Amino acid sequence: MGSRFTIRAEDAAYARQIVRSTLRGAPNDAVETAALLTSELVTNAMVIANADPQLFLDTRAGHIYVEVRDADTTFDQCRREWTPSGWGLDMINALATSWGNESRGDCDAIWFDLRF
C-alpha cells in the first residue's frame, strides 16, 4: 500500500525529506536518486500547474514507485505552449527504470519507477 502526501508550494525540500524517511532501509543510492527525481517532479508540478501537488510513494520488493499529481485541469491546454527550460525530464529518463505521464480528467499525473 502506498502513502500520500500534499506538498505545499513553498517546499520541494519537504518532498525529498518524505522520500528519504519513507524509504529508510532501501539502498542509499536508490533513495537519493528517488529523492532527486521526486524533487524534480514536484517542482515541475508547482511551476507548470501553479498548484500544491500530491505525492504518492509505493515501495515493493526491489522497486520504488513515485507519482506526483496536480489538480490543475488547465495543464493540457498549456502543454501546447510550454517548451522545456531545463534538463529535468532528460534526467528522469536517464535515471528512472520507467516513467510516464497521463491526464486523468480531475488531475494530471507524472510518475517514475526505480528498480534497485
Fill in the amino acid letter for 61. Answer: A
Q: Which set of grid coordinates corresponds to residue 11?
A: 517546499
Q: Which set of grid coordinates corresponds to residue 84?
A: 522545456
Q: What is the pLDDT of residue 2?
A: 65
How far is residue 48's CA from residue 84's CA, in Å, rounded to a whole number? 11
Task: Report the percentage of the chain scoring pLDDT > 90.
Answer: 44
For the domain spanning 3-115, the CATH number is 3.30.565.10
Q: What is the pLDDT of residue 77?
A: 44
- Residue environment code for 26-60, b if the CB has 16+ CB neighbours within 10 A, otherwise e: beeebbebbbebbbbbbbbbbebbebbbbbbbbbe
pLDDT tens digits, 48-96: 777 778 899 998 889 999 999 887 655 444 444 445 566 788 899 999 9
Q: What is the pLDDT of residue 1?
A: 52
Strand partners, 108: 70, 103
Q: What is the pLDDT of residue 14?
A: 87
Determine phi and psi for 44, rounding to 5 degrees. -60, -45
By mean pLDDT, which of 26-30, 37-41, 55-59, 85-89 is the weakest? 85-89
Domain boundaries, the chain: 3-115
Q: What is the pLDDT of residue 10?
A: 58
